[in-house]
């Protein structure tokens, strides 16, 4: 149906149900209204499919001139390119063209043709920008005004702006005296950025910074009761508003100082219950994958964000050949900052930071707290998890553990009382089995291995006749071949591991599991054995990482989704049981249940008195 509708003429009267729309008016400000139509679901699905198929061709046809056609960071590239052209000595002015209701009237085929044959202009949807000498800009404006209407494009001169250099002001007003185009030497907004004089840029950015400071301050009250939701709103939405500005505007670090103070004095305390005097902002200002919380300091990152984005954007006509190089340089700068932060910390805190950088230890911070996926934590759980992550002091804990030993975080995680250790193990085991059932047959929890009947096994192997493993699945590594898995969770901060790195600790437990079961599984079961070693901080051994990569490949192939989406989902699902287990060790009750002593005859008598016949 989609192919027919997009390649043949179909009488609209015959498909009214598909073409139906709900019209919503959106306020654009200054009395203007933007009409937005919401189509029926089937029509939207068809449109998405056509866009998916044709997107590569549209990007190639539009190249770098129509930057809303699907180019990554298209508007950013347009901003940098037009600023560089405007700053050139041979350029007199930049003309920003706005059209009247262009989206509903524009001839798309003509627009694609124009951007292919015309030069020195840059389009973002119906917003066009041209630059050059005054005469060239005027010729382009006249041509667009004459040729546009027959093709469905109607430039609105009253909404157009000519940004000129100060020394060319009189000449510009003379050239454009017979038009209603707005002429300015100060500047104007261009795709969300400021193009023109430095004074206009500073005024524009300062207004935006004041808005963001107010938003951070207002949301801080909400963060007191819902820190996880507030943190998600900040990392997934709010901070990207000013990140965009950092990438498109030069030398604005000083203008962001009020926002920096709001982040340190309002945002961080609201989420973590720690003030900036107790927490080094650098510790929390790196990306989450680098042990941080992503509370990026806009003053510190301003220059690096702009330089990396500028380097990439000016290479846009060459199809972003230098994107990887810019990204690599940015990562190197972040790695240097991470090392500086780690070297400034005490030994135990440095150890905590190293554990927080392990693969898988930060995934619970990088997902939206959806209740239906069990990704939500309450306010105490969020703050406890952050304090555990950075080895910060945790208050309101008992002086003594239920087992009689002095209470500490490290002791709580390894204490045998309460049954929390086996509970954590079983939750991870059941979760892995549940994910394996999505892609494998014959998945079994706690399968018993076959008895040994004369086979010779290595020293240290588990030779018990009823030795079980945690999970069995058929067809995971090889078709129809049995695969066995065994889960182990270790605490890297235990006293016996204080001289070992996290990688050495995981390797130690992995080798121990292999010594116990690998040969028995391969020789007797004719299968494969994979130890799944996790740490209490969320890290994984290398074989566990490879196992999850293979699982993500199988799930992605079965569901028809991307590998990155599948692996992100797996890591998030695994991270939450580990985080909740760590909090349970800290807050859970280890005392034995109180048993009531009573005489059965007395209870029977009381029941008779309470319920007489």
Cα 494 to Cα 519: distance, rounded to the nearest angstrom: 29
Specify the pLDDT at position 447. 93
**Sign (positive or negative) of CA dihedral 405, 407, 410, 413:** positive
Which parts of 181-281 are beta strand (E)?
182-184, 187-190, 193-196
**Sign (positive or negative) of CA dihedral 179, 182, 186, 189:** negative
Specify the pLDDT at position 121. 67
Specify the pLDDT at position 323. 46
CA-based max dimension of the chain: 110
Neighbours of 519 (CB within 10 A): 17
Cα 310 to Cα 247: distance, rounded to the nearest angstrom: 7
Specify the pLDDT at position 120. 62
Return the H-helix or E-strand segment holding 28: strand 21-29
Cα 73 to Cα 316: distance, rounded to the nearest angstrom: 10
- Going from the first residue of the chain to its last (613 residues), give the mean pLDDT of each consecutive group of 10, the final group possibly shorter: 87 85 83 82 89 84 73 81 88 89 61 57 79 90 86 84 92 91 93 91 94 90 88 89 90 93 88 67 74 83 83 55 53 74 77 82 89 91 89 84 86 86 93 95 92 86 90 94 94 86 92 94 93 92 94 94 93 93 85 52 46 44
Alpha helices in 290-419 (DSSP H): 298-313, 323-343, 347-356, 379-390, 409-414
Neighbours of 137 (CB within 10 A): 25
pTM: 0.76
Q: Residue-wise over 237-256: b if at least 16 C-beta within 10 A, else e?
A: ebbeebebbbbbbeebbebb
**Residue 6 phi/psi, 5° resolution?**
-95, 0
Specify the pLDDT at position 608. 43
């Amino acid at each position: 149906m989609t192919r027919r509708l997009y390649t043949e003429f179909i009488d609209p009267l015959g498909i009214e149900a598909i073409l139906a729309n709900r019209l919503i008016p959106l306020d654009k400000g200054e009395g203007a209204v933007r009409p937005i139509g919401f189509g029926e679901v089937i029509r939207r699905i068809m449109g998405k499919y056509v866009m998916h198929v044709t997107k590569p061709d549209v990007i190639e046809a539009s190249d770098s001139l129509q930057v809303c056609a699907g180019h990554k960071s298209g508007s950013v590239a347009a901003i940098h390119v037009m600023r560089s052209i405007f700053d050139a000595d041979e350029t007199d002015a930049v003309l920003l063209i706005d059209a009247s209701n262009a989206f509903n009237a524009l001839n798309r085929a003509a627009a694609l043709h124009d951007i292919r044959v015309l030069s020195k202009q840059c389009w973002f949807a119906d917003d066009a920008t041209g630059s050059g000498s005054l005469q060239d800009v005027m010729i382009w404006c006249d041509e667009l005004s004459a040729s546009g209407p027959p093709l469905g494009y109607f430039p609105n001169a009253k909404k157009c702006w000519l940004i000129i250099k100060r020394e060319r002001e009189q000449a510009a007003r003379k050239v454009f005296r017979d038009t209603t185009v707005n002429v300015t030497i100060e500047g104007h907004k261009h795709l969300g950025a400021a193009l023109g004089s430095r004074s206009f840029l500073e005024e524009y950015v300062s207004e935006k910074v004041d808005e963001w400071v107010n938003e951070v301050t207002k949301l801080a009250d909400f963060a007191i009761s819902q820190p996880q939701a507030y943190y998600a709103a900040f990392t997934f939405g709010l901070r990207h508003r000013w990140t965009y500005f950092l990438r498109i505007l030069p030398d604005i670090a000083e203008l962001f100082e009020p926002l920096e103070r709001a982040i340190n004095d309002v945002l961080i305390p609201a989420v973590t219950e720690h003030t900036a005097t107790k927490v080094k902002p650098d510790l929390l200002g790196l990306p989450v994958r680098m042990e941080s919380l992503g509370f990026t300091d806009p003053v510190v990152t301003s220059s690096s964000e702009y330089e990396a984005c500028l380097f990439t954007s000016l290479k846009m006509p060459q199809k972003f050949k230098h994107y990887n190089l810019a990204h690599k340089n940015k990562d190197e700068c972040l790695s240097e900052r991470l090392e500086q932060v780690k070297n400034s910390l005490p030994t135990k805190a440095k150890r905590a930071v190293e554990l927080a950088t392990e693969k898988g230890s930060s995934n619970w911070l990088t997902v939206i707290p959806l209740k239906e996926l069990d990704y939500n934590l309450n306010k105490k759980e969020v703050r406890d998890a952050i304090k555990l992550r950075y080895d910060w002091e945790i208050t309101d804990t008992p002086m003594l553990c239920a087992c009689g030993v002095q209470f500490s975080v490290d002791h709580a995680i390894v204490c045998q009382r309460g049954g929390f250790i086996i509970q954590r193990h079983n939750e991870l085991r059941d979760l892995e089995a549940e994910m394996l059932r999505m892609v494998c047959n014959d998945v079994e929890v706690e399968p018993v291995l076959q008895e040994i009947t004369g086979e010779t096994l290595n020293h240290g192997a588990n030779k018990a006749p009823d030795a079980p493993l945690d999970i069995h699945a058929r067809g995971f590594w090889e078709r129809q071949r049995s695969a066995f898995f065994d889960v182990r969770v270790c605490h890297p901060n235990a006293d016996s591991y204080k001289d070992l790195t996290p990688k050495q600790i995981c390797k130690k437990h992995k080798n121990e599991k292999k010594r116990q079961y690998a040969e028995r599984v391969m020789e007797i079961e004719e299968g494969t054995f994979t130890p799944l070693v996790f740490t209490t901080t969320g890290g994984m051994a290398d074989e566990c990482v490879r196992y999850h990569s293979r699982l993500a490949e199988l799930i992605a192939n079965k569901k028809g989704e991307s590998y990155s989406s599948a692996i992100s989902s797996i890591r998030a699902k695994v991270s939450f049981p580990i985080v909740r287990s760590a909090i349970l060790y800290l807050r859970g009750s280890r005392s034995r249940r109180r048993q009531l002593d009573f005489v059965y005859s007395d209870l029977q008598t009381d029941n008779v008195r309470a319920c007489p016949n």
